Amino acid sequence: MDLLNSEIYICGRPDMVAGVVAEAVLNGADSESIYSEKYI
């Protein structure tokens, strides 16, 4: 999962947001928390 997330992050495209949301769902965490933590 980290490898895929890294690729999405490197792309720097809206697709990476989908990856963050998907990771949030899989981890059962708040998508907003993960989004803020990684991109702010």
What pLDDT score was predicted for residue 40?
A: 44
Query: Is the CB of residue 5 less than 8 Å from the CB of residue 23?
Result: yes
What pLDDT score was predicted for residue 36?
A: 57
C-alpha 5, offset from chain centre: 6
- Taking each continuous run of H as one helix and of E as one strand, the counts in the chain are 3, 0
pTM for this prediction: 0.32
Q: Helix or strand or coil: residue 30?
A: coil
C-alpha 15, offset from chain centre: 9
Q: Token digits for 29?
A: 């965490």
What pLDDT score was predicted for residue 37?
A: 59
Instruction: Tell me the per-residue pLDDT of 1-40, one tens digit each, with 9 for 90 and over.
Output: 455 555 555 555 666 677 777 777 776 655 565 555 555 4
Place of tokens 């899989």: 26
